[in-house]
Amino acid sequence: MKWLEVFKVFLKLGLTSFGGPIAHLGYFRHEIVERRKWMDEHAYADLVALCQFLPGPASSQTGIAIGLARAGYMGAIAAWIGFTLPSALVLVLFAYGMTTWGGGQDAGWLHGLKIAAVAVVMQAVWGMGQKLTPDRLRLTFAIVAATLVLFVPTALGQIGAIVLGGLFGIKLLKNQTHPPHIEFDYRVSRLVAVACLTFFVALLIALPMLAGFYASDTVKVFDSFYRAGALVFGGGHVVLPLLQTGVVSPGWMTNDAFLAGYGAAQAVPGPLFTFAAYLGAVMNGWTGALLCLIAIFLPSFLLIIGILPFWESLRKYPVIQTAMRGVNAAVVGILLAALYHPVWTMGILSVKDFALAGVAFVLLEAWKTPPWLVVGLCAIGGTALAAF
């Protein structure tokens, strides 16, 4: 059963993918493109570019789309559960008071995980750059896109870089040959796609009205987390202020409890949006955790299922393929910018950190060491560096 295969792959990723959304895309590329060849490099880059456009968690949306392409609706659900379950369970247990983390946010092993993320993202930039920016025009634009994103560190900067990349491709890359187009059957009809997009908008409008009409905390919580997943661009860190306002202001939890959970979320693999499980568990145990998880990830399912059939139809046109060559160069630039900030600036604080990151990169790129093993070695290395 293909959906079971998808679940196993994404469960492994959910257990080992430390470092945030950009690092997750590096792990996905290694597992899906290089190792299993479920997608080619260009199709994967196109998908990443699309998910950068959408609100919500880009890495989770990419995983849902890969699962959908591989095994239909069951594959999409299996990919999401596999990638989300490990960190959600740990954060729920943390919410119940199991806080034996051995040193908290400043622990050496946690800093080692940040160093591992540097190596993983570096490998992703290196690999995608070789395939997607093979000439001086696209390499130059990747640097321009990285500069734009660093100077405009908001969702506007990322979206602007992607739009400019498309225009750059249409204008300057129209005479280049296109790579072979490999079409994916996402097993989604256009009728279902339109229904999902309609439901996405309908919930966005109806939930605030229902929350105001009914004196039910359940409806209000679902509304708050659904809006967080539907309206926030830029990933997990950007959603935090909205979630903080949504749960602390009504008095559902204290600000100290919120910040403690956020600290724990930094130490677990998988998507940062699973922080919702911690918040739900603090408010209402396992039931609350499940409610908040479903609410914050539901917009991603509706958007991915709603948009992919139309996106796949557009990808086959020559003008879109030309635009995507520029967009893919922009994606390399966005990854390069993320490699510098926040991944590098948070992970590399000394010459020793740089040396450990260099060793990790060589293990990944030259020796083809499994990423989970490199992550473990970096955690041990971070502990050793902290001790000395």
Does residue 131 lie within any of the structural domains?
yes
Query: Is residue 290 one of the residues assigned to a domain?
Result: yes
Q: Which amino acid is at 194?
A: V
- Regarding whether 227 and 373 lie in a shared domain, the answer is no
pLDDT band at residue 384 using 50, 70 and 90 as cut-offs: very high
Q: How much of the chain is helix, strand and coil, in % rounded to 5?
A: 80, 0, 20
What's the whole-number mean pLDDT along residues 29-47?
A: 91
241-244 CB contacts, 8 Å cutoff, 24+ apart: 243/275, 243/276, 243/279
| Structural domain includes residue 259 | yes
Among 303, 324, 340, where does a domain finish? 303
Measured CA to CA, the distance from residue 95 to residue 293 in angstroms comes to 14
Is pLDDT of 105 > 70?
no
136 shares a domain with 24: yes
What are the tokens at 45? 């880059």
Give a yes or no: residue 352 inside a domain. Answer: yes
Which of 90-94, 120-124, 136-140, 254-258 bottoms out in mean pLDDT, i.e. has the lowest? Answer: 254-258
State whether 135 and 217 are in the same domain: no
Same domain as 29, residue 47: yes
How far is Cα 26 from Cα 343, in angstroms, rounded to an integer?
A: 13
Same domain, 216 and 148: no
Q: Indicate whether 275 pLDDT > 80.
A: yes
* Element at 137 (helix H, strand E): helix 136-151
The string of pLDDT tens digits covering residues 108-157 is: 887 887 888 788 888 888 988 888 899 999 999 999 999 999 999 877 88
Residues 176 and 194 in one domain: no
Residue 102: pLDDT band by 50, 70, 90 thresholds? very low
Of 256, 275, 303, which residue constitutes the final position of a domain?
A: 303
| Cβ count near 294 (within 10 Å) | 16
The pLDDT confidence band at residue 312, using thresholds 50, 70 and 90, is confident
Question: How many angstroms from the chain centroid is the CA of residue 94?
Answer: 22
Residue in 195, 170, 162 with CA at minimum distance from that of residue 51: 162
User: Does any domain span residue 101?
Assistant: no
Q: Is the pLDDT of residue 106 over 60?
A: no
Tokens at 108, concatenated = 């050496």
108: Cα within 13 Å, side-chain hemisphere: 14
Regarding whether 372 and 282 lie in a shared domain, the answer is no
Structural domain for 287, as ranges: 190-303
Which among 255, 286, 303 is the end of a domain? Answer: 303
> 150 with 344: CB under 8 angstroms?
no
The owner of tokens 């199709």 is 43
- Selection from 87, 64, 86 nearest residue 75 by Cα: 64
Tell me whether residue 147 is in a domain: yes
The pLDDT of 244-248, averaged and rounded, is 82
Which residues does 370 contact at the CB level (< 8 Å), separation at least 6?
none
Total structural domains in the chain? 2
Stretch 306-329: mean pLDDT: 88
| Per-residue pLDDT band at 263 (split at 50, 70, 90) | low
* Structural domain includes residue 152: yes
| 139 and 178 part of one domain | yes
The tens digit of pLDDT for each residue in 176-221 reads 766 665 666 778 999 999 999 999 999 999 999 998 888 788 999 9
Q: Are residues 76 and 167 in the same domain?
A: yes
Q: What is the largest CA-CA distance in the chain?
A: 61
Select from 98, 28, 34 the least CA-distant residue to 59.
Answer: 28
Residues 159 and 44 in one domain: yes
290 and 168 share a domain? no
Mean predicted lDDT score pLDDT of the chain: 87
**Residue 88: pLDDT over 50:** yes
In sequence order, what DSSP letters do the residues of 324-382 get, joined into one string? HHHHHHHHHHHHHHHIIIIIIHHH--SHHHHHHHHHHHHHHHTS---HHHHHHHHHHHH
Computed over its alpha carbons, how large is the radius of gyration of the chain?
A: 20
Q: Are 17 and 83 in contact (CB under 8 A)?
A: yes
Give yes or no: residues 130 and 84 share one domain.
Answer: yes
Residue 109, number of CB atoms within 10 A of its CB: 19
* Rounded Cα gap, residues 145 and 156, in angstroms: 12
Highest mean pLDDT of the ranges 194-198, 251-255, 308-312, 322-326 = 194-198
Taking only the tens place, the pLDDT of each residue in 340-355 is: 987 798 889 999 999 9
pLDDT at 72 over 60: yes
Tell me the C-alpha distance between 273 and 255, whole Å. 18
